[in-house]
Amino acid sequence: MCGIFAITSNRRNNIGETLVECAEKLTYRGYDTVGCATVYKNKIHLRKDKGKFDIVATKLRLSEMRGSKGIAQLRWATFGAPSKLNAQPHLDCDEDLCAAHNGNILNFLPLREQYTHEGHTVRSMNDGEICVHAIERYYDQLGDMVEAIQKGCNDLKGDYAFAVMHRDDDKVYAVKMGSSLFAGIGKGETCVSSDLPSILPITREILNIHDGELVILSPTTIEIRRISDGQLVERKPYTSDADIRVAQKGGYPHFMLKEIHEQVSSTRTLFSAIREPYISQFVGSLINANRVFFVACGSSYHAAVVGSYYFNELANVAVIPVIGGQFISHYGDAVRKGDVVVCVSQSGETKDVIDVVHHCRNRDVKILSIINVLGSTLTHLSDLYLPLGSGFEISVPATKTYTSQVTLFNYLAALSGQKREVLESTRAEEIITDLKTHLPALIEETISTNTIKARALAPYLSKYSHFYVLGYGITHGVALEGALKIKEVCYIVADGMYSSEFKHGPLSIVEEGYPIVFTIAPKDSEHLVNHLAEVECRGARIIITGEDHPLLRRYVKDDDFFLIPESNQYLSPILQAIPLQLMAYHLATYKNIDPDYPRNISKTLTVR
Ligand code: BG6
């Protein structure tokens, strides 16, 4: 995924400062390369290079760029290595146009050959450059930017959003075709961006842009037109109440630690974000479905795995959790009318999930979603969605949104069990009361109990380039998530797996002192004793997250026992991830890795 931000103003002529202030908030969308282009005295000025935003902005003095309009781009590399040449924005042949995109242009190689054959100077191996040449090709013929963009988009295949500007006018043009794009209306200036946090320093007056739309920005107006026929689209702006401070660290050294602590409040705001009648409609669709699939990627997939256990245990509903990129090949021909697919996506932009929606649309399958970012592509594509209400999650590794997803699944499963009369109403109410009232304090206690232990364990874990995180039953998804956190921010191959499987092969890795992390649900403590014994007798160093239990204490030193407070058994899987998040965070910082922006990855992947 990448991030684009573009602005045109009649009240600023040092637009570089604004580009830096706003685009910096998109760092989590890509930090392989950065570039800014401005128009000053009818000439395009372009500065770009490899590296993270703050470093490149300082090195190239981006904030000093003059002009009243500009485009910034932050890149997560797909086509073309992270280099200055492949950095965006890109110029057309004669340096009259400049454009930057997010997404991927699937037919970029054949178009590159065609345009080069037609005499274009295509300088890079980055698919984004093709956008500016596609527009230039028609602009040179037609002399009209709107028509040129309409025709240029017809040539481009793939999912993308781009911004483009000409050096001779005060306009910026932008297109949404499968990747996220929002517009903002300020005083004497208008802007577009891949994400809201970068618009809020300019304005809270937001315009949602839908796929297939072209946005024409002038300093005082925004026009939306359908790309297919140029038809004007009337749409009212809304005032965003998003809290921009969420996009600041608030005194924490990293967003990741801040967002771990924010789990106390975000599990609370979840219940004010979801509303009736949508909750009942969501539950109704689930319990009346022929089959239910939870489709997601990364941390959201792990939340879906935990959710599938909740639905089995509380509602006796069999749910199939599926990795986004796997769904079409695994279930694409079998899925049909009457099935329900629940897409779980923090960003609402993950391409591997969006592709499933398009596939299921053609098979008349109902699409429900659980989403954090409102206005995202998935919010437009779903029949019904429930918002997480977690606020901006800036750190690339998901923490608070994962925990809110698991909490929501617990809640929906209890409601479903109650509705299906397989869960005693009083028991369902107990579970729901625990979620809405006791969970925040239990999260706070879990964080405070385990922070020092997590920091103390880091030196030992840092000696290993690989180890295992084992879960059983409802904590299987927790083990997968804990392992992913460690992979993402510590560059260690932490393998999350089902603990009963460990003896069927992986056990061979164990030698004296080898670390094995177990995440154990209260009701499984006795069952796990033999899994603990198998590795302990071979010299492993056992680390446990779970509620206190005398049987477990026989296998683990106090410093390695990451205790979670006693609670009803269904809150435990929510709490279990927190010590693992803290372990990953403190191990990363011990290894001098920035946990917010780990190398090579990005917050949302809008490419398949
Ligand atoms: C990955 C992120 O790119 O996408 C993960 O690094 C995230 O943190 C995964 O869990 C899925 O993203 P989303 O937005 O669909 O939940």
β 541-546/466-471 pair status = unpaired
Q: Record the tokens describing residue 304, joined without a space.
A: 């879906």
Which helix (H) or strand (E) is 153 found in, with range?
helix 145-155
Shortest CA distance to 419 belongs to which of 286, 539, 235?
A: 286
First CA to last CA across the chain, in angstroms?
10
What's the pLDDT at 197? 87
The structural domains of the chain, ordered by start, are 3-242 (3.60.20.10), 248-423 (3.40.50.10490), 451-594 (3.40.50.10490)
What gap in Å lies between CA 221 and CA 512, rounded to an integer?
68
How large is the average pLDDT for residues 292-304?
98
Residues serving a catalytic function are 2, 603
Sheet holding 69-75, edge to edge: 43-50, 33-40, 69-75, 3-9, 189-193, 182-185, 205-208, 238-239
CA pair distance 525, 509, nearest whole angstrom = 24
Q: Are strands 205-208 and 238-239 parallel, antiparallel or unpaired?
A: antiparallel
Index of the ligand 1 atom closest to the CA of residue 397: 8
pLDDT tens-digit readout, 65-121:
999 999 999 988 877 888 999 999 999 999 999 999 998 899 999 999 999 999 999
Nearest CA, atom 15, ligand 1: 345
pLDDT in tens, 506-552: 999 999 999 999 999 999 988 899 999 999 999 999 999 999 999 99
Distance 29 CA to ligand 1 centre (A): 11
User: How are strands ordered across the β-sheet holding 319-323?
Assistant: 319-323, 292-296, 340-345, 366-371, 384-387
Split at pLDDT 50, 70, 90, the class of 565 is very high
Closest CA to 214 of 138, 161, 157, 143: 161
Q: Mutate which of 78, 346, 395 to test ligand 1's pocket (most atoms within 8 Å of Cβ)?
A: 346
On the 0-12 / 13-18 / 19+ scale of CB atoms within 10 A, 335 is buried
209 DSSP 8-state letter: -
Q: What is the pLDDT of residues 461-515, one digit of tens each?
A: 999 999 999 999 999 999 999 999 999 999 999 999 999 999 999 999 999 999 9
The model carries a pTM of 0.82
Could you read off the pLDDT of 236-270 as tens digits, one per residue?
A: 999 998 776 666 777 788 999 999 999 999 998 99
Residue 497: count other Cβ atoms within 10 Å of its Cβ.
16
Distance 347 CA to ligand 1 centre (A): 7
As a three-state string, the secondary structure of 237-249 is CEECCCCHHHHCC
Extract the tokens encoding 438.
Answer: 């006791």
Distance from Cα 605 to the centre of ligand 1, integer Å: 7
Q: Please answer whether residues 340 and 519 qualify as being in contact, where contact means their C-beta atoms are separated by less than 8 angstroms.
A: no
- Whether 601 shows a pLDDT value over 80: the answer reads no
Query: Rounded to an integer, what distance in angstroms lies between the CA atom of residue 191 and that of residue 218?
Result: 9
Q: What is the pLDDT of residue 553?
A: 95
101 in Cβ contact with 152 (< 8 Å)? no
Residue 556 has pLDDT above 70, yes or no: yes
What phi and psi values does residue 394 have, to the nearest 5 degrees? -85, -40
Going across the sheet that includes 541-546, the strands are 493-498, 466-471, 515-519, 541-546, 561-563
pLDDT score, position 247: 64
CA distance 253 to 247: 13
Q: Give the pocket of ligand 1 (CB within 6 Å).
A: 297-300, 345-347, 350, 353, 396-398, 601-605
Mean pLDDT of the chain: 94
